[in-house]
Amino acid sequence: MDLSKKLIKIGLSEKESKVYLACLQLGIDTVASIAHFAELKRPTVYLILENLENLGLVSKVVNEHKTLYKAEDPKFIVNDLRLKEEMARDILPSLNAIYNLDPAKPNIKISDGMQGVKNTYRNIFSYLSLHPQEELLIFGSLKDALANFESQVLDFFYESVAKTKNPVREIGNDDFETRKYFRASNKINPRHEIRLIRNEGKFFQTDNMLYGNNLVIFSVKEQMFATTIESAGIAETYRTLFNMAWKSGKPI
């Protein structure tokens, strides 16, 4: 099976397919290594990686001040590119066979700007659509998000939460904005349970989501970005902390 030709048929260009397949096989690597593996010039690969990042197929990784790239999990190709579902699933086993990342090591990526944050939300809800029983945990400052996030990003998030069939538990600050949002959210999604912080403190300038083996930290300041930490151990630790906070939270 020629995976490159299959990827071209479902929407990628020839060079994009070469770079994407190179990223899958290399795991996390530099632009120079990806260019060498794909047998393409480095300036060309820079542009292609930017396109693939906008499509949600690859992402930047922070590693000792170096800019590295890694392929996203191949199963997201079904939703991220809105491709022909039957053909995407046909090539998924072959893509997974060459996916080379060590699951024991935490993977950290930062997505900048409005498009990067939207891609992060898209990854979250794509994962949830494939795992309908998976629980989404949210905790953070809604008031700060409303003040600093662009409306397009918030609208995209609200639409996604309204559509998801997954159970959602959320902890927020006890303020007017949060109570108003919580009342509306529960009507949209009856599986969305909400509690408020009592007198222990408050969340400040971050919004956080926990699902599967991923912890996502959104910066809700003027500079917009999302940090995703993929680690089973870290996710389980934060899930335990969330459950402790949930027990002491104030139901609305």
Q: Which domains does the chain have, with CATH numbers?
A: 3-97 (1.10.10.10), 107-251 (3.30.870.10)
| 204 vs 57: CA distance, rounded Å | 31
Quote the pLDDT of residue 152: 63
| 134 vs 139: CA distance, rounded Å | 17
pLDDT by residue for the chain (252 residues), tens only, comes to 588 888 888 778 999 999 999 999 998 899 999 999 999 999 999 999 999 998 888 998 877 778 899 988 887 766 655 555 666 677 777 777 777 665 666 788 888 887 888 889 889 988 998 898 899 999 988 777 777 666 666 677 777 777 788 888 999 888 887 788 777 777 777 788 889 888 777 888 788 999 999 999 988 776 778 999 999 999 999 999 999 999 988 887
Question: Which residues on neighbouring strands pair with residue 69, listed in sequence order?
Answer: 29, 60
The pair of structure tokens assigned to 248 is 């002491």
Closest CA to 153 of 187, 124, 180, 119: 119
| 116 vs 136: CA distance, rounded Å | 20
**Hey, CA dihedral for 111, 112, 116, 121, is it positive or negative?**
positive
Buried b (16+ CB within 10 A) or exposed e, 160-195: bbeebebbbbbbbbeeebbbebbeebbeebeebbbb
State pTM to two decimals.
0.58
Is residue 229 within 8 A of residue 133, CB to CB? The reply is no
Quote the pLDDT of residue 166: 86
Phi, psi of 110 (to 5 degrees): -120, 130
Secondary structure string (H, E, C) spanning 180-202: HHHHHHHHHCCCEEEEECCCCCC
Quote the pLDDT of residue 82: 56
Sheet strands (E) in 33-91 = 58-63, 66-71
| 234 vs 104: CA distance, rounded Å | 11
